[in-house]
Amino acid sequence: MLNSLPVIHTDGVIFKENKVLLSKRKIDPCKGSWCLPGGRVEFGETLEEAIIREIKEETNLAVEKVRLVGIYDDPNRDPIGRHIISACYILKAIDGSRNFRINKEVSRLKLFPLDKLPDFIAFDHKKMIWEALKIANPWLFDRFYFEHGLENGISLYSNYRWLPSRYFSLAKALIDLAKIEKSNTILDFGCAKGYLVRIFRELGFSCWGCDSSRYAIEHVDPLIKKYCFIISNDEMILPNEKYDFCISKDVLEHISKNDIGYVLKTLRTHVNTLIAVIPLGERGDYLIPEYHKDITHEIAEDADWWSEQFKNSGWNSIEIKYRVPGIKDTWSFKEFGNGIFIAR
């Protein structure tokens, strides 16, 4: 019978430029697989002391803690049924050494480019890597999020690009839904590379976009670059003072519950009508399981929860639809998987 008490481990993420250090396991479980270096906390050690010791033993690198990525405590995270709780840290090598030395548990050490990681990484260490990358280097994270997210298990995007027919159908559906006229001003909140802004502009509408991703904004089409801007959730300064309509598709679920009220209240001061397309869930579980593949998603709640957030932020009239042709057609098989909110 396995030990009934949880075991405490630490794991370390060491980045070098666009690469991450992985070790190849010589022992079970997951023998022959790549993973992050780390190991068990010994009696009398702090978590920080344990990860520094483990890295030195496994790699010969002297490191220092940069910051905690998170605590990983899913009882089912170990493939052979042990209850292992791991504290994951971003670490920095402090001696400049590249003279790796392996111990009896490791057969090889290698720095992998972040866009060429092994297909299988043991345990939940791939999730740790991408969550660490999000913290350590948001600009770099954006690149992998948009261009290599699907294959690396961090988002549903891969080779995110301009698809005219798709964005025309989306824009047409939004125009018909909200009765947007060419005299109206539009803000695409969370515009990414500005594709929706581009199609609205091509259709003769006055549309602007904003996004917190520097990478995405830097890759906006030059034809509309002057209409798209970088913003911060901490200090939302929008391109213009007032808009008739704001479109926010697949964006609000990325904002933490601590910040969502501030974001919605700020939008309320600048926008007359908000159209928000949001994946729905129940107490942290999305009704469409694929949405869990985006590790940047923060909120998975139902339509009532979201309606309450809108009302608490000053939006008086809330209309909800669950299916509008042209909007999220790929996921239409799940009747209540997405909510399309029109808030005024």
DSSP secondary structure, 278-291, as one string: EE-EETTEESSGGG
| Residue range 115-139, pLDDT digits in tens | 788 989 999 999 999 888 877 765 5
Walk me through the domains of the chain, giving residue ranges and CATH numbers. 7-136 (3.90.79.10), 164-343 (3.40.50.150)
Structure tokens belonging to residue 292: 């869990």
Please state, in angstroms and rounded to a whole number, the distance separating the CA atoms of residues 261 and 31.
47
- Under a CB-based contact definition with an 8 Å cutoff, are residues 339 and 272 in contact? no
Which among 57, 121, 55, 116 has a CA at the least distance from the CA of 90?
55
Question: Is the per-residue pLDDT at 141 higher than 50?
Answer: yes
Structure tokens belonging to residue 203: 């259709």
Look at the pTM and tell me if it is higher than 0.85: no
Question: Is the per-residue pLDDT at 233 higher than 70?
Answer: no
Average pLDDT over residues 167-181: 97
| Residue range 5-55, pLDDT digits in tens | 899 999 999 998 778 999 999 888 899 999 999 999 999 999 999 999 999
| Residue range 70-84, pLDDT digits in tens | 999 999 898 888 999
- Under a CB-based contact definition with an 8 Å cutoff, are residues 284 and 292 in contact? no
Question: Is the per-residue pLDDT at 1 higher than 50?
Answer: no
Question: Is the per-residue pLDDT at 194 higher than 50?
Answer: yes
- Under a CB-based contact definition with an 8 Å cutoff, are residues 266 and 242 in contact? no
Beta pairing partners, 11: 38, 88
